[in-house]
Structure 1
Amino acid sequence: MSLLVRGATLPDGSRRDLSIADGRFVESSDASATVIDADGLLALPGLVDLHTHLREPGFEQSETVLTGSRAAAAGGYTAVFAMANTSPVQDTAGVVEQVQSLGERHGYVTVRPIGAVTVGLAGERLAEIGAMAQSRARVRVFSDDGHCVHDPLLMRRALEYVTTFGGVVAQHAQEPRLTIGAQLNEGALSSELGLAGWPAVAEESIIARDVLLAQHVGARLHVCHVSTAGSVEVIRWAKARGIRVTAEVTPHHLLLTEELARGYDSRFKVNPPLRRDEDVVALREALADGTIDIVATDHAPHPVEAKECAWDEAANGMVGLESALSVVQAAVVDTGLLEWSDVARVMSSTPAAIGLLAGYDSPFSVGSPAHVTLVDPTAHRSFSTADLHGKSVNSPYLGRDLPGRVIATVHEGRPTVLDGVLLAPEQVGADRV
């Protein structure tokens, strides 16, 4: 199909038409092109999430590849990396190829599976890293997210292994011995509420260890969901010494603080936990100065019964795909820390580069794959369950006023969202499900 996105404003402030045919940007559109009126809309390159939990196989009551892909498209995403904590775990070539095939079947976004670092996420022996890398899925990112690779020898071996094909290990930085029973950021508030504390040093000490291991073996290390000011300083120190480390921050850690836990509302229970105001400020500044490279959602859906219960029994995690761009706008664009061109970098081109995902390095260029997100940055909405398109509703933003709205998403030249409405599977070329 051919499209003409007319009058779009690009991240650099210029205005132009975007012509699309056969899934790529072209010089000009033909007379049969479907026109999308983008007057007053901002055109971003399709968003890329390096950290999504799609739950399938095994936890389809929370999410599936289809429903997670629909949520991603609604949020302006055209590619997501699916974390390995499924059942069975994505620790073999067969399972990652299954997830890859499901993403291709549904068509809303490009789905790239992340391989587990260790068998069963148990932290005892390395998974089939080489087989997953050589599989049809061509896995390049490996993570035990939800669990820390706490054994330093295993972590070293994993880092050494991925260097043979240019891959990266994405670490969930959490020293397990320091966080036994942890429920909330350790500090005055956790003591006041009677909840076991999750100390910042549990994150910072693992990052410090791993950047030194990465330096020692010359490997690429990626740090998941950085949440503390101290972690920022460790990463800044490592980058100043040329260590090959990248880092992500979640939208919720850019906006929300531990104070939201006062009401024991488990929508705000997440790992790593929401931190102090000082940490939020440090994370925003680190994203602005490049110490933190990208924004990643850590979209973590759970069924109602896993969240609507006592705080200490509730699962960690928040859904975040549909709200991410609005939260980033509120936290760092409307506050003047980032321009929209920076948002394009931290939410599209750089996460794609870290994950070795082709097609995002020259957005809007003739011949490049046509991934586009059209946004109305002047819009405001009270975020509600009507904005959620996955299977779970554990969003921390329900009832909150958020800026910006995704008006259209185009994945590989085919619309998945038009006029703010998510299209049906048959409209995006998906197989019958």
Structure 2
Amino acid sequence: MQQHTKGAMIEMSDKFSLVETSQDPIISPSPRLPAEILSLILSRILPSSVKLWTTHLLRDFIHVLLSCCLVSKAWCGPAREMLYKSIRLSQLESLYLLLRTVRSESFGGHCPAFALHFRPSFPDFALIKDIRKFATLAGEIVVCCPKLLFLTGDCGLLDFTSTMSYPRYPFLTYLKVSEQNLKFLAPLLPHLCNLKSFEMLQSCGDSDMLNDCFEPPSFKLSKLSISRTKLSPGLCKWLFASSSESVESLKVEEVGSNLQHLIEVMGGSVRELHIKSMFHYETKSDPESIKVISGLAGLRRLRIDGWDFKTEHLLNLQSSLETFAFSPYVARVRELRTLLQSGWQPSLQSLDLHLGPFSSLESWGVLERASRQWQDELTQTCAARGIQLNEICPT
């Protein structure tokens, strides 16, 4: 989440994020500063870079905010908003405590959280009733947060019902779920009219049930990431028909032939495509997936990561690529050099070689040990065509 936030977005542990701040503040003389100025001052206490935060520093910052809540009414509002800005929840008891606090007279049923992260931590033999209760409480908390910007839920533990009273969520632009049954997420989706980025990992959904029971989403996504999720044509249409002309960036991982269904719904708008570990046994027997990639006329940036990828799949691309990125295995480097020499993609401006932490880097090392010739010749080929060659290492 940190890469999506500006300034110091506070990632708090359960015990810090659930502190009761509903006590009447002590009335004492204090500077009459505008709330916006107070918020800016408080946000500058922590380093601007999340990487510089420490547990001790975060603990001190929480104590500062709690003290500010007791200075005066003028200070309590900005301090409390900063205190509850981003909340990470993993324990069932924490959800109970947060709901009790939010439903107190001081909060009036509205939580000022800008970001909610549900990452449950259960013992190995957790009771099913506790898991279900976590999911139900998580849904109730989300309903209390109309100012949300970001929402993430792991392990499928987000549960919403049609009987809940939902706010409009005008600011919620980022949603990430994993192992989520979409029938429990479906009641929330129509209320996310301004959602721009959606990430879904190992999730599932019955398109017939969703069509019969729930209103489809109306958001217009610009970024979509789908990993290890089975996508039927009906499910793709129900989820993404409203985004058919807005999705510019699409990332897929291990979806195999289901990529065809995605592209059939939104292929006309996709400008950037990242395929990870797709070219495997399933794709070898499914040439239709390769065909739909070839037909993406608006594609400008393409990245493919996978052991079995062959450059011959790219010969029929109808798009005018500006950037092509891949993992530099030995055979692939040779094939790509030949492809570039043939005049493939005359619009190409940059070629990015992504060196992975293990396999890709090792393969690049094999290339260097076997013969430096192929790397040198690829560099020369790119230089002859005016293509910028970039070697990108993992951070």
What TM-score do you get using the length of structure 1 for normalisation?
Answer: 0.30
Bigger fraction of residues in helix: 2
Bigger fraction of residues in strand: 1
Greater RCO (Cα-Cα under 8 Å, separation 6 or more) = 1
Bigger Rg, which one: 2
